[in-house]
Amino acid sequence: MDIMLTSYIVVHTIAGFDPSAGAGILADIKAFEHCKVYGQAVCTALTIQNEDSFEKPNWLPWESIESQLQIISRVRDFSYVKIGLVESPSTLEKIFKWLRKKYPKAFILWDPILKASSGFEFHKQNAVTWQKLFSYANLITPNLPEAEFLGISKGSSKTAVLVKGGHSKKNEDLLFLPNSPAPITFPFKRIKGVERHGSGCTLSALILANFAKYNDLEKAICRAKKSMQKIFENGNGKLGAFK
């Protein structure tokens, strides 16, 4: 069935390229397609990795990232954006400022990636350098170690926070809405012995795609988590699959 691009909701990911397609922009595009939205990508790094090991990130300079942003924006607005792997707080700030200047009403999801699932550490900067950038995002989706490192314990006046519970002993994700006194809990069923590479990337991409479709954050998270259950139930080795 041939569907014209104009009939699609268009969403964007700004992240690294993972050759295994388990994480990064390839995984994001697969998640977008699963949700029947049209995904476009801006690459921040050409990583050397597979689902088991990580060798090096090969960061792209800001000039290259900016050129990608500019040429895509000639045709498509960045209304719904996910930001994943970036080289530094400085690079992230440049991306945020570029987006907010051109698309002040865009919904921006930032998925902080501090360490690869294989253990490679991307960032060791002081958390304060990242904290100054929180307000640029509408939603931040750290896992528990990332939330602890970044000092995120709740949402702010402008930014919601979803703390992903995969590293927690409790089988639940916690959503802190702006100015909310208590989190909204999203329980999940953990499948023992199953580890999926890039599950955090995929979850955040699913949330963005569903939010673009329904404009309801709680609904987007619920639908994303149902899709993630399929990822954990299907696949080969550490690579999950939609079935």
In a domain, 1, yes or no: no
SS3 at position 141: coil
The predicted structure's pLDDT at residue 123: 67
In a domain, 185, yes or no: yes
Query: pLDDT averaged over consecutive 10-residue blocks of the chain (243 residues)?
Result: 63 97 96 96 96 92 98 96 95 97 98 71 73 93 87 76 75 86 82 81 96 96 92 88 86
Cα–Cα distance for residue pair 224/205, rounded to 1 Å: 8
The predicted structure's pLDDT at residue 79: 97
Into how many domains does the chain fold? 1
Q: What is the CATH number of the domain that holds 97?
A: 3.40.1190.20
In a domain, 87, yes or no: yes
pTM of the full structure: 0.92
For the chain, what is the radius of gyration of the CA atoms?
17
Cα–Cα distance for residue pair 22/110, rounded to 1 Å: 18
The predicted structure's pLDDT at residue 158: 83
Cα–Cα distance for residue pair 205/28, rounded to 1 Å: 5
Helix residue spans in the chain (DSSP H): 24-34, 62-73, 89-102, 127-131, 144-150, 199-214, 217-233
Cα–Cα distance for residue pair 235/153, rounded to 1 Å: 33
Beta-carbon contacts of 128 under 8 Å, excluding residues fewer than 6 positions away, are: none
In a domain, 93, yes or no: yes
The predicted structure's pLDDT at residue 166: 60
In a domain, 48, yes or no: yes
In a domain, 239, yes or no: no
In a domain, 2, yes or no: no
Cα–Cα distance for residue pair 142/218, rounded to 1 Å: 17
The predicted structure's pLDDT at residue 59: 96
The predicted structure's pLDDT at residue 72: 97
Cα–Cα distance for residue pair 19/220, rounded to 1 Å: 28
Q: Which residues are paired to 161 by β-bridges?
A: 140, 176
In a domain, 218, yes or no: yes
Give the domain extent around 198: 7-233
The predicted structure's pLDDT at residue 181: 73
